Copies of this chain bind each other. A is one copy, B any other.
Amino acid sequence: MIEENEADARRQRLADDLVDGHAGFLLARANVASLAATTAALRAHGLKTRSYSVLALACHESPPSQKEVADVLRLDPSQVVVVVDDLQGRGLVERLPDSRDGRSKVLVATSRGRDVYAHARHDVSRAENAFFTILTDAQRARLNQLLRPLAFPANDPTPIEKDQQP
């Protein structure tokens, strides 16, 4: 199948020329691949990336308000409502009144919600582990280190560790 390989090489050359000088393209492509892996892992638990993230926050020792969820996940408050409605409808989270602010509602996971989250997190970790298996542990740590300032830019209160070159 020489013709097949030639066609593959052609496509690879097109892709390479497209990526050249466009790191964002690489970022986007790696992201969709990663997303596909985690989404597939979450499907068995009836969750998507959004509902999983909201559930994770609701499991936090210091549970957040919906506004905080919107801020942390960079979602519009109206989108948070939709996700929370779904999770609450399935008995995974509750909206509790905020003692310090009558407008605000605190999101807390139910015991069933925590159970679902524990299992989902396990499977997500396994899926991510499989996805990043091409990289060594040191490389993964380095990737995280490089991505963090890009993911949390500007007014980030947490210090960004300066790099140690290889």
Contact = CB atoms under 8 A, between A and B. Distances in A.
Interface of A: 5, 8-19, 21-38, 40, 43, 49, 53, 56-57, 60, 62, 64, 68, 71-72, 74, 124-125, 128, 131-132, 134-136, 138-140, 142-144, 146-158, 161, 163-166
Residue among A8, A25, A142 facing the most chain B CB atoms (10 A cut-off):
A25
Contacts of A37: 24
B128 A71 contact: no
Contacts of A163: 36, 136, 139
A156 B27 CA distance: 17
Given A10-B68, A125-B21, A134-B153, A164 B40 contact: yes
Given A14-B64, A23-B143, 12 more contacts: A8-B158, A14-B57, A14-B68, A15-B158, A18-B53, A26-B144, A28-B34, A43-B165, A134-B154, A139-B163, A143-B146, A143-B147
Residue among A22, A38, A49, A155 facing the most chain B CB atoms (10 A cut-off):
A22
